[in-house]
Chain A
Amino acid sequence: DIQMTQSPSTLSASVGDRVTITCRASQSISSWLAWYQQKPGKAPKVMIYKASSLESGVPSRFSGSGSGTEFTLTISSLQPDDFGTYYCQQYISYPITFGQGTRLEIK
């Protein structure tokens, strides 16, 4: 199974900050990676797919990059609504696996 490891586990940042979350795969997954945002009590929402493609309706301050085993999700200018937990997910092969999550708090 492909292990997905996110860092940091928790992140506290201020409105307007540039924020970066990292996801590492235990083996190459090419660009088959998605990022989700989840708010408490709600279902996850896809933000980025295929490592760098922005899902329709997602603000352009979100971007994804990387390929192979190292990926990043960047929020260029943090907004109050961006709080929540972010998960990466690989879908190059079964079983599909998620990272453990990064909790983003707004200072």
Chain B
Amino acid sequence: EVQLVESGGGLVQPGGSLRLPCAASGFSFSSHWMGWVRQAPGKGLEWLGNINQDGSGTHYVESVKGRFTISRDNAKNSLYLQMNSLRAEDTAVYYCARVPYDGNAYYDYWGQGTLVTVSS
């Protein structure tokens, strides 16, 4: 069974940093592109970025470029989202998700999400 489990969310002050891990199981993690999507309270879905199978290639939405970094450790079947210089508007539930096939960047499996609250 494919499972994605995010962790690491919580309360962080503006300007602070947080790293969100996503533990993957039930599939060949190193064979799939992976991505992060967030959802602010009561709002819609916002794509953040994707990473390729070996971690050598990433894409980001403009609003987080230079502040957020996606990485992965295939030996640990883990995906990461490093978030720096956090702002109040980064408050959201953060989801990791799996891209099913190369060149088809929709998401067939999602984690349950982890809530990040940026507030003083």
A43-B106 contact in complex given A95-B59, A97-B47, C-beta closer than 8 Å: no
CB distance from B68 to the nearest CB of A (A): 13
**Chain A, interface residues (CB within 8 Å), range:** 20 to 34
Instruction: Give the residue of B50, B95, B106 whose beta carbon is less than 8 angstroms from that of A46.
Output: B106
**Chain B, interface residues (CB within 8 Å), range:** 20 to 34
Q: Tally inter-chain residue pairs, CB-CB below 8 A.
A: 55
Q: Is the CB of A87 within 8 A of B45?
A: yes
Give the chain A neighbours of B111 by CB distance below 8 A.
Answer: 43
Instruction: Give the residue of A38, A42, A49, A95 whose beta carbon is less than 8 angstroms from that of B106.
Output: A49
Q: Is the CB of A100 within 8 A of B104?
A: no
Q: Is the CB of A94 within 8 A of B108?
A: no
Residues of B in contact with A (beta carbons under 8 Å apart): 35, 37, 44-47, 50, 59-62, 95, 100, 104-108, 110-113
